[in-house]
Structure 1
Amino acid sequence: MASSKRPNILFVMADDHAAKAISAYGAGINNTPHLDRLAKEGMLFNHCYVTNSICTPSRAAILTGQHNHVNDVMTLDSAINSRLPNVAKSMRTGGYATAMYGKWHMGEGRAHEPSGFDDWAVIPGQGEYWDPAFITKAGMANHPGYATDIITDLSLDFIKKNRQENPDKPFFVMCQHKAPHRSWECDDKHKELYKDPIRLPDTFTDDYKNRARAAKVAKMRVSDDLTYYDLGLVQPDGGSKHGLGEKMTNTWFFTDRKIKAPEDITKFKLIDKEDGTVFTFQSHTELTEFKFQRYMQRYLRTIQSIDDNMGRMLQYLEDEGLADNTVVIYTSDQGFFLGEHGWFDKRFMYEESFQMPFLIKYPNLIKPGSVCNDIVCNVDFAPTFLDLAGLRVPSYMQGVTFKSLLQGTTPEGWQQVAYHRYWMHNDMVHGCYAHYGIRNKRYKLIYWYNDGLGIEGTGPADDHKEWELFDCQEDPLELFNCHSEPKYADVVKEMTELLEDKMADIGDVPVHFGHWAASEGVGPQIGAGSGEVKY
């Protein structure tokens, strides 16, 4: 029997957690029993998408229910305005105890601190895995230990305190982990996990043919762009004669260098930073596959702590009799490449980066073992939280509640489309072109409009504005751009019109040459209802 009492909402979000790295999604690369419980006892979403596949904009979209051109948080350098309305403010006004712990990453300083929360403690910037500092209402606070454990502790402590002081007051808690973000530093107890080789993805050796140029020029390759620091290896002194690559001095990650081997690979060695193990190689292919295995080990080990702590949270809710009337959600701020197309990282509208994992458990509403194949987006989270809480969804939110999907009903005319836009922000580190596009249940249309401005090795003379169309049913690996194929002409027209309608609906416009405002007569000009793109 459904309870008339308003539910608690526990929102747990990781950073860069690919759906394939949750065993409930069936990829078979790791084991996450506690996350899997959310799917077994609730619902798993197969088509949850991010509107901008990068940390800061995604977090802003989740908090405000708005697309990034509206909340003005479009890049990693953006900072949210604390005066903006957001879901936490609505929840608090509606009678909820609200809290935020963990990764914030939407600016620092009083003008950009979390607002709408009764309590909060957030890591500055990307934060540290070990002994992290936190920004709090009272100032800086240091916490010894491992970040994932500490963020969970803070979240549970707030819930316990609220239960003691306001036993009838529902809570809305956003528990936002740093893991599994780069540089993938695991808890000591997980260092021996995942030592068996992981199968290479089918597209690991992708040659990027039959695609837009953006795929080829991106600097996110496992083979070339991982660093000594990323993989926990000793970086040797010296320059190119010692096999060192370019120094990444312009990135917020680290200043360590990429691992570039000499032509004679037999003279090259790598050394484990912790135990001194020496690795040698007989071919460059062997080195690349070593990097992949090392990357995956480190990445998956950090996820194990997330799974452990999800188990702690679920156990607490059961012990306190809160499980039936608490909505528990697990997601990530976007997807992540786990060697697909030879990449790590995110940013692109290609599926592995575009898809967010989304698991939700709420026994009073959701049938156990449910699977949803309808399309939802991160801008839809905030309206759904409010709807579940029985609160008004404010008109400023562009997202749509999907409460009916949780009940197993797809409303007539449901928005089976997902819009994505990645703004160029002089990304010399990753070399990712700006783009926007639309996906429905079968097709994906992407427009790459970036002129290369600010990306090393490119420039105005090297413009590549291109369209891609993928048939996600016939080509789920997204290897063949069929935009120019005659048999897809009607699909191109249909998807272009769909893109035009969505952009008009949310108030977004084409951008030319990386500027921040649309210019009449430049960029893709889509005639109303025509489906014809003019330049």
Structure 2
Amino acid sequence: MPLFLKLATAIAVSMASIDVGIDVAPACADEPTVGESRPNILFAIADDWGWPHASIYGDPVCKTPTFDRVAKEGILFEHAFISSPSCTPSRNAILTGQHFWRLGGGANLHSVLDTKHQAFVHLLDRAGYETGHMRKMWGPGDASNWEVNPAGKKFKDFDQFLEMRDSDKPFCFCFGAYDPHRGYKKGSGKKSGMDLDEIRLFDCFPDSETIRSDVADYYFEVQRFDSELGQALKRLEELGQLDNTVVVVTGDHGMPFPRCKSNLYDSGARVPMAVRWPKKIKANRVVTDFVSTTDLAPTFLEIAGVEIPKTMTGQSWMPLFEFSGTEDVALIEDDRDHVIFGKERHVPAQEAPDVGGFPMRAIRTAEFLLIENFRPDRWPNGTPNYKQAQIPSAWLADTDNGPTKTYIVENRDKDDNHRRCYELCFAKRPRFELFDIQADPEQLTNLAYDPEFAEVRDKLHGRLTEELLASDDPRAKDSAAATKYFDSFKYLGQGPRHPSFKKQKRNSKAKN
């Protein structure tokens, strides 16, 4: 059965019942069923860690022995994608098992998640699991409307959780890290011994030592996350619990660099993903099926023997775990030949008085990536005209500040390649973008308006729209109304400012 029909069947909500399209009523599962012997769950998520920055994916500089171990002793996913390349909506989608566009204000960065949406952590807690998290699992945003954080009770670290838990119960712990989110200690990567010449830069970056060193600093924090996770696995081994624990390791979206985080190209939307569960998963498996991080919640619930709420749009990975057929099949599940994802407001990064984001949706297959940009009049990564910004001095504010961003902006007129890189990262974009994955794996050449690819574009767009409608995405129903809806939610954060902003603040303080 096609995936869109599965979604339509699973979602018992009429389009007329939605606030401009989207007030999805919660579906309460029956009292959870509990298995006799349930495994523990350790879910490790890095902050801003994107594909393919792990040694097992072929990165020659970034060394990730713990992630590699999990993958070698279980499954390495080749096509894992987030729901939205922005921290809050990505994590909301993970916790609720739903496409981010179904989550109201929770579809935006620095927001509030309505308590009508059920988080898998709370469902596991009700089913008898000991639950908790450390550092960053949910957010950023305001969770004061929740009696307990959507990610459960917060602990200092994994060791504290293990000491305080009831050892007679199975546990689910979210090993949330701050690494490798900016800022970085400048030069930390090079100082650690990384060879800057060996770093493989995305082709949207000019080749400079400044950028290579910045990427090395990012790698340094990826490796720190990997090392800390290694200590957690060692602790489970000491307790005799490692083989009774499902270990899942991933990131919430791409690296915090231009054309990565907050973008729908693979550099922003594709993430590392590995799962270890020796009681169910054979070692050294590579899965090429397309999976979404919205699949994690229903997977964890099925592992625990808990009924999956009907509102969840993600699909459990149990059939992938239990597959025992020929290992070289193209797909284990026919429906997993693609994935859909998107973005609403990251930062209110447009020019005043516009408080909106850059809304877009995408469908990714093995052959193509199609992106629909619903507001091509807006800046895709925020206005460069910081003096006119809605947030005072917000500067290309959907892209985190850092040496790479500054270098690309300051050197945009150096030569043709620098200008090309600047435009790829920051220039306005047309309504549609289409990329041939085999010929253009980094998705740099837009074929959407090439007559030779018109049929491919239209077919993919029809398929994308069909699935968006089936999942109650207001963008597919009435985009103008959806813009008002998503942009109406209060933004609780700040945003990257132009370098002159700090100088202005210093001068202002000096005068006062």
Do the two structures share a fold, i.e. TM-score over 0.5?
A: yes
Among 402, 416, 423, the residue aligned to 2:337: 416
1:120 equivalent in structure 2: 154
1:239 equivalent in structure 2: none
SS at 1:360 equivalent? strand
Counterparts in 2 of 1:118 and 1:78: CA distance versus 1, 3 Å: closer
C-alpha contact 1:82 1:113 (8 A) present in aligned 2: no
Q: Which has the higher helix share?
A: 2
C-alpha contact 2:181 2:256 (8 A) present in aligned 1: no
SS at 1:111 equivalent? coil
Using the TM superposition, give the Cα deviation of residue 488 of structure 1 relative to its aligned residue in structure 2, in angstroms.
2.2
Distance 2:193 2:103 in 1: 40
The Cα RMSD (Å) is 3.0
Alignment of 1:144-223 (within 5 A): 154-162=157-165, 166-185=166-185, 192-199=191-198, 201=200, 203-204=202-203, 206=204
1:321 equivalent in structure 2: 240
Distance 2:201 2:310 in 1: 44
Distance 1:417 1:502 in 2: 11
Alignment of 1:288-307 (within 5 A): 289-307=208-226
Among 61, 75, 87, the residue aligned to 1:43: 75
1:427 equivalent in structure 2: 349
C-alpha contact 1:23 1:31 (8 A) present in aligned 2: yes
Distance 2:183 2:433 in 1: 32
1:100 equivalent in structure 2: 133
Distance 1:333 1:476 in 2: 21
User: What is the CA deviation profile of residues 205-259 of structure 1, one whole-angstrom value per residue up to 9, with x for unaligned ones?
Assistant: x4xxxxxxxxxxxxxxx67xxxxxxxxxxxxxxxxxxxxxxxxxxxxxxxxxxxx
2:445 equivalent in structure 1: 480
Distance 1:303 1:412 in 2: 31
1:442 equivalent in structure 2: 367
The residue type equivalent to 2:271 in the other structure is M
2:467 equivalent in structure 1: 502
Distance 2:276 2:186 in 1: 27
C-alpha contact 1:58 1:334 (8 A) present in aligned 2: yes
C-alpha contact 1:60 1:80 (8 A) present in aligned 2: yes
C-alpha contact 2:88 2:109 (8 A) present in aligned 1: yes
The residue type equivalent to 1:44 in the other structure is L
C-alpha contact 2:55 2:61 (8 A) present in aligned 1: yes
C-alpha contact 2:132 2:173 (8 A) present in aligned 1: yes
Distance 2:335 2:453 in 1: 25
Q: Which moved more, 1:503-512 or 1:55-64?
A: 503-512
2:327 equivalent in structure 1: none
1:148 equivalent in structure 2: none
1:391 and 2:316 matched:
no
1:470 equivalent in structure 2: 435
User: What is the CA deviation profile of residues 514-534 of structure 1, one whole-angstrom value per residue up to 9, with x for unaligned ones?
Assistant: 82349xxxxxxxxxxxxxxxx
Q: What percentage of residue pairs aligned between the two structures are identical?
A: 29
Among 86, 90, 95, the residue aligned to 1:63: 95
Counterparts in 2 of 1:464 and 1:179: CA distance versus 1, 3 Å: closer
The residue type equivalent to 2:378 in the other structure is G
1:311 equivalent in structure 2: 230
Using the TM superposition, give the Cα deviation of residue 294 of structure 1 relative to its aligned residue in structure 2, in angstroms.
2.2
Among 296, 300, 315, the residue aligned to 1:400: 315
The residue type equivalent to 2:196 in the other structure is P
Among 111, 115, 140, the residue aligned to 1:78: 111
C-alpha contact 2:89 2:108 (8 A) present in aligned 1: yes
Larger Rg: 1
C-alpha contact 1:159 1:171 (8 A) present in aligned 2: no
User: What is the CA deviation profile of residues 234-286 of structure 1, one whole-angstrom value per residue up to 9, with x for unaligned ones?
Assistant: xxxxxxxxxxxxxxxxxxxxxxxxxxxxxxxxxxxxxxxxxxxxxxxxxxxxx
TM-score scaled by structure 2? 0.70
Tell me the number of residue pairs that the alignment of Structure 1 and Structure 2 aligns.
394
1:269 equivalent in structure 2: none
C-alpha contact 2:362 2:370 (8 A) present in aligned 1: yes
Q: Which has the higher strand share?
A: 1
C-alpha contact 1:99 1:158 (8 A) present in aligned 2: yes
The residue type equivalent to 2:180 in the other structure is P
Counterparts in 2 of 1:456 and 1:303: CA distance versus 1, 3 Å: closer
C-alpha contact 2:45 2:177 (8 A) present in aligned 1: yes
Distance 1:421 1:441 in 2: 18
The residue type equivalent to 1:171 in the other structure is F
Using the TM superposition, give the Cα deviation of residue 344 of structure 1 relative to its aligned residue in structure 2, in angstroms.
6.4
TM-score scaled by structure 1? 0.68
Counterparts in 2 of 1:70 and 1:344: CA distance versus 1, 3 Å: closer
The residue type equivalent to 1:184 in the other structure is Y
1:370 and 2:295 matched:
no
Among 444, 452, 462, the residue aligned to 2:378: 452
Distance 1:337 1:184 in 2: 11
